[in-house]
Structure 1
């Protein structure tokens, strides 16, 4: 384990260099200390650790390193077939057995998420709803622009009529939002500081900007939604406001 985790200077972080492979290949990575002067290129994984007692080994710096099953699923899904991918995940990049390092690094995590090229909110493996939800979100996101430019022609009734008919799509959307855990403080902070974000479920990707447009349009006008779903829309918009508060250039609606 010592060859995996060497002491870090204050202005360094560790980056996972995930080696390419096919879905069923063993997970192999190098854990590389890199300077934050300037910040390097990498993506962060925002995920739920899952049961810490259920682990799977990966090969890290030529040593065996146990990680949770959920993180293993994420790495397999995000791994490229023909090139390395540079990632940051707290369960690997912070030495969880070193309490001093863990306390020091946790205080820097907001900078890690703020400077990442992209934050990937890992939702777990697809249970059949992800593709339906992604297509529904994409269609509502596209309609958002039409509504934004011509609100009088749309009106509340047309918004509801356009999107309420397919119960399967609404159920899939609710499932995806429930799995995103958007009400959790750490998820709000991680996504709210992101330059760019997406939801990922197995091989299905949902751009964060599509989700914010969907929440803005349906949350305001579709009263047919449940209280639970409206609460999820509110959390999406809270994260969007945090994004704007941190003074990033542009916004997720653009």
Structure 2
């Protein structure tokens, strides 16, 4: 891995272009993040994802040397790689030496700077097994646009508060409230299904 100061710099993965069937060659570039000077730095994107307790079992070739990564990280990089041009990404499973405890502590202290100064943050959700996840997000946006609040939920309960904190109660009343106001929106995977994805519980 490239030489850098873990207290002030991060590694950025410069992912070489390619198609879905080609290998994933990449290089590391050191970026001073604290302090961050946009005029003297380069743009990068940060990735937030759930580790899903996967061990590193796949070798990624970085600067012509193997770096061991997990299946989920490999999948993310394969899907985010551009076909015709390189892409600069920060993802902790690659850019932080997971075997170096001292480095990991220093890099954790820089996380706020990483996400604050990235040109965009990509949230990667593993939605395998969810039917039509895109419609779930559409539902979530419609819920937000509808101005749903706690009082609306209570009014649907018709004064019976015994089940107020039961997940099944919230699930049923949220769906009925939403469908009452959006009868034309047929959603096979409401937002509450998406919140079961591990990222919403523990993100990395």
Relative to the length of structure 2, the TM-score reads 0.70
2:91 & 2:22 partners in 1: Cα distance?
20
1:123 matched to 2:125? The reply is yes
SS at match of 2:200: coil
2:197 alignment partner in structure 1: 179
Which protein has greater RCO, CA pairs closer than 8 Å, 6+ apart?
2
1:60 matched to 2:62? The reply is yes
Relative to the length of structure 1, the TM-score reads 0.57
In structure 2, the CA distance between the partners of 1:130 and 1:158, relative to structure 1 (3 Å rule), is: closer
- Give the CA RMSD over aligned residues: 2.8
**Shift, 1:126, TM fit:** 4.0
1:58 & 1:9 partners in 2: Cα distance?
21
CA deviation map 1:224-249 (0-9, x unaligned): xxxxxxxxxxxxxxxxxxxxxxxxxx
For 1:30-109, list aligned pairs within 5 A.
30-36=27-33, 37-39=36-38, 40-53=42-55, 55-109=57-111
CA deviation map 1:162-217 (0-9, x unaligned): 436736132xx333222153244x56xxxxxxxxxxxxxxxxxxxxxxxxxxxxxx
In structure 2, the CA distance between the partners of 1:9 and 1:57, relative to structure 1 (3 Å rule), is: closer
- Decide whether the 8 Å contact of 1:121 with 1:180 is kept in 2: no
2:165 alignment partner in structure 1: none
Gaps of 5+ in 2: 148-155, 157-175
Length, aligned pairs only: 170
Candidates 171, 182, 197, aligned match of 1:163: 182
For 1:142-153, list aligned pairs within 5 A.
144=145
Gaps of 5+ in 1: 149-155, 188-254
CA deviation map 1:62-91 (0-9, x unaligned): 111110000111111111111111110111
2:193 & 2:20 partners in 1: Cα distance?
25
1:21 matched to 2:41? The reply is no
SS at match of 1:31: strand
2:118 & 2:11 partners in 1: Cα distance?
13
